[in-house]
Amino acid sequence: MRTTLDLPDPLFREVKSRAAREGMKLKELIACYIEAGLRSATVPTTGGRGHPEPLPVAIPREAGRAPGQALTNRELQALLEEEDFENYERSVAPTDREPG
């Protein structure tokens, strides 16, 4: 599959240089790096080029769940639907003032 990558110039030069030293094509070396990264058990750091943050986790309201235990997709969907319903109820709630 063909794709386009936008790499910073210094990174591109380093990867291209390493591919030449290894006697590999640039696309082969990048494919090797991607495969190695996907097989890694840890999330790679950005090396100062950004600030990776963990994905947000919804915290349940009930006390029966261990601290830090993530919600299932079904539980998260139920919370989102409940919030949508509450927002809807607020938007159609009668006001204290009568028009006119």
Report pLDDT digits (tens) over 17-49. 989 988 989 999 999 988 888 887 676 565 555
Q: Taking residues 43-66, what's their average pLDDT?
A: 60
Report the percentage of the chain scoring pLDDT > 90.
10
The answer to whether the pTM exceeds 0.85 is no
Query: pLDDT category, 55, cuts 50, 70, 90?
Result: low
C-alpha dihedral, 21 to 22 to 25 to 28, nearest 10°: -140
Q: How far is Cα of residue 37 from the mean position of the Cα atoms in its chain?
A: 16
Q: How far is Cα of residue 36 from the mean position of the Cα atoms in its chain?
A: 20
Burial code of 59-70, b = ≥16 C-beta within 10 A, e = fewer?
A: ebeeeeeeeeee
Amino acid present at 76: L
Distance CA 36, CA 27 (A): 14
